[in-house]
Amino acid sequence: MRNLSVAGVLPACALCQFRSTGICALSGERELVQLEKGKILKRYSAGSTIAYPGDTLKHVGTVMVGLVSLSRVMQDGRRQTVGLLHPGDFLGRPGRSVTPFLVEALSETEFCSFDHKAFEHLLADAPELHSRLTDVMLDELDAARKWMKILGRKSAREKLCSFFVYLAYRLNRQSMRASDRSLPDIIHLTMTREQIADFLGLRIETVSRQFSRLAQEGLIEPVGRHGLRLPDFRAVLEAADEDDDGGMIC
């Protein structure tokens, strides 16, 4: 690995593993130096709340490690998770800092963040960064709409399978940095049944029952308490009734 620090001025961002995929992907060195200035690395423990609905998110940035959920909650306690942020994903809403969501760290999370205002100033100055952000937000929009189909029209079984497909593609993207485009052999589930239920618009018992049923059918193979193997990915895709778009969006 090349020693990039010899120049003495290259910001640590240049070494970031999300340098090529994250929001900073297209930023030039000038922008990187700017970003570097206000950078703050935040840590959240598993299960901790990052923000409540109505809170002002003073920072925006990239999830480095862990898993963050965005949820909408109703008075009576029903909740619907509307977004999952994996490493490399952008957290925050430019232009409106008050969040309508309950933002939670589902696992030990590291968040590389910048001051909200500083970031927006930079945005106005750096068209490349702005374009990149727009792209990322549009992908989120596509993902949200894709998930709407799952919530509105799929059976519990299909929902679960869609979830596995989503995870497989998503975890794959993370590890794709390396070389192989193959899907991960074992999926490590950091989410509890309840968190999965909230994401899929189901009750916890239904999720549990579908897990059992799918395992019995051999579509999934439990590995320990939180591991999962998909012996026949095609079969899962089929059971999810997904048009295979190669995970492009979701």
Partner DNA sequence: CGAGACGTTGAAGGTCTTCAAAAGCGGTGG
Partner DNA sequence: CCACCGCTTTTGAAGACCTTCAACGTCTCG
- Where does this chain bind DNA (CB under 7 A)? 155-157, 192-194, 201-209, 211-212, 222, 225
In angstroms, what is the minimal distance from the CB of 75 to a copy of itself? 7
Tell me: does residue 121 bind a copy of itself (CB under 8 A): no
Q: What share of the chain is helix, strand, coil (3-state, %, to 5)?
A: 40, 20, 35
Check: CB of residue 86 under 8 Å from CB of residue 63.
Answer: yes
Under DSSP, is residue 134 helix (H, G, I), strand (E, B) or coil?
helix
Binding to a copy of itself (CB under 8 A) within 200-219 occurs at 200-201
Question: Which of DNA, a copy of itself, none sits in contact with 138, Cβ below 5 to 8 A by type?
Answer: a copy of itself
Tell me: does residue 127 bind a copy of itself (CB under 8 A): yes
Q: Figure out which of the listed residues 72, 86, 193, 213 binds a copy of itself, where binding follows CB under 8 A.
A: 72
Check: CB of residue 184 under 8 Å from CB of residue 230.
Answer: no
Tell me the C-alpha distance between 62 and 39, whole Å. 11
> Residue type at 200?
L
Question: Is the Cβ of residue 78 or residue 117 nearer to DNA in the bound state?
Answer: 78
In angstroms, what is the minimal distance from the CB of 73 to DNA? 15
In angstroms, what is the minimal distance from the CB of 235 to DNA? 18
> Within 13 Å and on the Cβ side, how many CA atoms surround 246?
3
Question: Which of a copy of itself, DNA, none sits in contact with 8, Cβ below 5 to 8 A by type?
Answer: none
Alpha helices in 16-74 (DSSP H): 29-38
In angstroms, what is the minimal distance from the CB of 64 to DNA? 23
Among 193, 188, 202, CA closest to 157: 202
